[in-house]
Amino acid sequence: MTDTLTPEERSERMSRVRDRGGEAEMTVRRLVHSLGYRYRLHVSGLPGKPDILLPRHRKIIFVHGCFWHRHEDCRLARLPKSRLDFWLPKLRRNRERDMDVIRKLSGLGWSVLVVWECEVRDRGKLIEKLTSFLGARR
């Protein structure tokens, strides 16, 4: 299949991509809440503006889209077929920024977990991952 979008159509499509409150993030938020944790959202005073912040426990959860954050070996992270001169540096910078943010947060004493968009599909494994990170609380 060839890409027949004009630059204007592509721009409009990309502008609809949400940077917070997407389906994956909402699923993780609901699960964390159901596990008995209370949290803050998108705290701007910390590096990377974490998606979910549990201040009492010094824990942070980022919910990353596989494409935008380059989840290794994930089919959702495949590269576009056109404009690689634009996409490769952009996606590389996203990945580098993510690693830098995690390093900074760890240096400030925070434990950080990244939940990938594709991991949200398996609720059982996601609950295991979250309880392992947060600790059993029921």
CATH architecture for residues 18-95+110-134: 3-Layer(aba) Sandwich (3.40)
Q: Which residue has the higher pLDDT, 4 or 37?
A: 37
Cα torsion for 119, 124, 125, 129, to the nearest 10°?
A: 100
Q: Residue 2 pLDDT > 60, yes or no? A: no
**Which one, of 55, 79, 52, lies nearest residue 67 by Cα?**
79
Instruction: Give the β-pairing of 40-41 and 111-116.
Output: unpaired
Quote the CA–CA distance of 114 and 49 in Å, as a whole number.
13
Task: Tell me the per-residue pLDDT of 109-126, one tens digit each, with 9 for 90 and over.
Answer: 999 999 999 999 999 999
CA angle 26, 21, 97 (to 5 degrees): 110
Identity of the amino acid at 103: R
pTM here is 0.83
Write down the pLDDT at residue 1. Answer: 47
State the DSSP H helix or E strand holding residue 114, giving kind and residue range, or none if neither: strand 111-116
* Pair of tokens at residue 114: 């990244």
Task: Tell me the per-residue pLDDT of 126-138, one tens digit each, with 9 for 90 and over.
Answer: 999 999 999 865 5
Q: Would you say 24 and 63 are in contact if contact means Cβ atoms under 8 Å apart?
A: yes
Task: Tell me the per-residue pLDDT of 60-118, one tens digit each, with 9 for 90 and over.
Answer: 999 999 999 999 999 988 888 888 898 899 999 999 999 999 999 999 999 999 999 99
Task: Tell me the per-residue pLDDT of 18-58, one tens digit each, with 9 for 90 and over.
Answer: 555 689 999 999 999 999 999 999 999 999 999 999 999 99
- The residues with which 59 forms a beta bridge, in sequence order, are 54, 111
Q: Would you say 50 and 105 are in contact if contact means Cβ atoms under 8 Å apart?
A: yes
